[in-house]
Amino acid sequence: MSPDMIDLLIKSFWETCYMVFASTALSTLIGIPLGVILTVTRKDHILPNQPLNTILGAIVNATRSTPFIILMVAIIPLTRMIVGSSIGTTAAIVPLTISAAPFIARIIESSLLEINPGIIEAAQAMGASPMQIITKVLLPEAMHSIVLGVTLAIISLIGYSAMAGTLGGGGLGDLAIRYGYQRFQMDVMIATVVVLIVMVQAMQSLGDYASKKLNKNKL
């Protein structure tokens, strides 16, 4: 690879990091409250509200079932309204966030439902309010599992960010399409694949480490 291509690869790597971590932060901010609501509004939980749970669940399922490429195209007007453009790394953050938030919400819900009901009943018996149960019992108890789930979401977003490159999202996916595929430069294609694999491995290892530390601290 030429020095210019290496510089382009480094630039694309940072664009991918920007897309992935910005969308992870935003989707987590949306997904955690949504996942908590989906959990506590179940009919057998601390704030049962079946109509709300059903409506939110349907919205989450509908968004999760939409393929990312289709979602990215479908919300182009929304993306333009939010960031002023439908092309570029910043624009790609909008569909990435909307795609990942429901996924994280279901991860949070699954993690919270694994908590022993006896712990929740004990907190209620001591007079804890629903908000205290959520912030001091549910989330702390499930944190190690939540970290693993968010790690899985980050890995999915790395893949989605590569797909975003096919529609002008920038990053490693765009580099692979424009140079590796359209110009038949196999060295560029291989380099982007290697970088993506390293990113996934690094995120998975970091997530596993953080989850184990949180689980040991809890014990």
pLDDT band at 217 (very low <50, low <70, confident <90, very high): low
Q: What is the pLDDT of residue 3?
A: 78
Q: What is the pLDDT of residue 27?
A: 94
Chain segment 15-42, per-residue pLDDT in tens: 999 999 999 999 999 999 999 999 999 9
Determine the average pLDDT of the residues in 174-193. 82
Asked if 25 contacts 157 with a C-beta cutoff of 8 angstroms, the reply is no
Alpha helices in the chain (DSSP H): 3-40, 50-64, 68-74, 76-83, 89-113, 117-125, 130-133, 139-164, 171-175, 186-218
pTM of the model: 0.87
CATH of domain 3-218: 1.10.3720.10
Chain segment 127-147, per-residue pLDDT in tens: 889 899 999 999 998 898 899
Determine the average pLDDT of the residues in 6-13. 88
Rounded to an integer, what distance in angstroms lies between the CA atom of residue 183 and that of residue 44? 58
Query: What is the domain partition of the chain in residue ranges?
Result: 3-218
Read out DSSP for 39-63? HHTSTTSSS--HHHHHHHHHHHHHH
Tokens of 51: 């109509």
Q: What is the pLDDT of residue 184?
A: 74
- Residues in the chain, overall count: 219
